[in-house]
Amino acid sequence: MNRYADQVAVITGAGRGIGRAIALRLAAEGARVAVISRTAVNAQIVAEELTKQYSQQALPYSVDVADGDAVANLCSKIVKDFGTISVLVNNAGITRDRLSMRMSGEDWDRVLDTNLKGAFHFVQHLQRHMMRNSYGRIVNISSVSGLLGQAGQVNYSASKAGLIGLTKALAREVSGRNVTVNAVAPGFIQTDMTQNLPESVKADVLKLIPLERFGDCEDVAAAVAFIASPEAKYITGQVIKVDGGMAM
């Protein structure tokens, strides 16, 4: 398939894990990709991988998504470098897990500023370009934790639930300009974030998943590839769960 021919996708948190898988999938379907990571070397590695594997234009960028001024400057550069923006995938996210009674204000702020406010920064600066072009796809990567809640993750769960609210409100704001906004909510996906969980925790989690396995990054990338494509033109304001049935 070549669903993303002549399209440019901006993907945050694309230096590894789910973000990297999304970048690979969209590039495989013809997209040129702005690879964004807080770590410059990760962005560079993935951009080179896309260019080598798919012969698509891919450029690396490094930014702290929580820094509004830095994001504003970066978005201007991306538009200048690529000339157009078709797709925005807000995937950048962090965790600082701790029970609420022991959680510091810094841990709360850092997670909310990265996971939720970071998405807002990119939305605010790139939606104008999409609306002028009367075409755009915005996909926010939420989480099953934002739907069900997770003990020890009040900051993370709140940030991911906030992304769902942002998705629905923004979908109503931009729908008249042929811009759709949706969220994808992964469950337990095999990434660096879940790899280090104790085996006892993994066993307990598997009991909650009807499909009885963790998902792969490619499972999430496949959902994003559909919901951000021209085929999904009549879908907006929705939350697509990729969780093996955990939150059905």
d(CA 248, CA 246): 6
Which positions are annotated as active-site residues? 156
Q: What pLDDT score was predicted for residue 193?
A: 67
d(CA 122, CA 64): 11
Q: What is the pLDDT of residues 202-242, one digit of tens each?
A: 888 899 999 999 999 999 999 999 999 999 999 999 999 99
Q: Which residues, in sequence order, are CB contacts of 123 under 8 Å at separation 6+?
A: 88, 90, 138, 166, 170
Mean pLDDT of 113-133: 97
Query: Rounded to two decimals, what is the model's pTM?
Result: 0.96
Domains and CATH numbers, the chain: 8-241 (3.40.50.720)
Q: Would you say residue 164 has pLDDT above 90?
A: yes
Residue linked to tokens 């974030």:
193
